[in-house]
């Protein structure tokens, strides 16, 4: 049993060393836990600030969505107005071309009539006989009637005069009123 007594002292010293090491480790761990608890209050403050910032960002996103929806609606309305104006301008160009074609036919007929009157018997050196004045009111009635027939066929949107007052410059507005009166 002597050998147990010799080893008993070694075991006691080993246990004492381990206890001192454990006490030292516990003290270090206690210090770190104290630091962690103090950092916890700081961390709670950081989390609260982060939450407030996230709330503000969400409010900003909601406001941005609302404003972009309003801007989109305004843009859609502007595009619709532009499409409507483009359609009306295309209609006006078509009508202008039709009127120009009719005037071209009338001018060609007038020139043909002048040439026929110049070739009538009476000699080459003679002046052509004076031409009878053209009945302008009769021509205007024909143009107006053909425009009315074309308008009835095309059934384009009405309200060009209102549009002319609202969107166009003075000379464009006057042209629109004149074309409206010819319809």
Report pLDDT digits (tens) over 121-158. 444 444 545 554 445 555 555 555 655 555 555 444 44
List, for residues 78-122, the tens digit of each pLDDT value. Answer: 999 999 999 999 999 999 988 988 888 888 888 888 888 876 444
Q: How far apart are CA 149 and CA 143, in angstroms?
A: 10
User: What are the residue boundaries of the structural domains of the chain, listed by start?
Assistant: 90-117+135-183
pLDDT bin (cut points 50, 70, 90) of residue 63 is very high
175 has pLDDT over 50:
yes
47: left (phi over 0), alpha (psi -120 to 50) or beta: alpha
Contact 180, 160 (CB under 8 A): yes
């Amino acid at each position: 049993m002597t050998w147990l007594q010799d080893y008993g002292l070694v075991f006691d010293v080993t246990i004492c060393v381990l206890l001192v090491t454990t006490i030292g480790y516990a003290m270090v761990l206690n210090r770190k836990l104290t630091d962690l608890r103090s950092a916890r209050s700081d961390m709670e403050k950081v989390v609260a600030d982060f939450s407030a910032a996230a709330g503000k960002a969400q409010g900003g996103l909601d406001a941005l969505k609302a404003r972009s929806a309003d801007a989109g609606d305004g843009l859609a309305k502007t595009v619709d107005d532009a499409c409507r104006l483009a359609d009306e301008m295309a209609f006006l160009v078509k009508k202008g071309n039709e009127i120009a074609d009719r005037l071209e036919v009338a001018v060609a007929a007038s020139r043909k009539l002048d040439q026929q009157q110049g070739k009538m018997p009476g000699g080459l050196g003679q002046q052509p006989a004076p031409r009878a004045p053209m009945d302008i009111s009769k021509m205007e009635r024909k143009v107006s009637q053909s425009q009315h027939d074309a308008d009835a066929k095309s059934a384009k949107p009405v309200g060009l005069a209102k549009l002319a007052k609202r969107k166009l410059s003075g000379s464009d507005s006057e042209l629109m009123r004149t074309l409206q009166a010819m319809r």
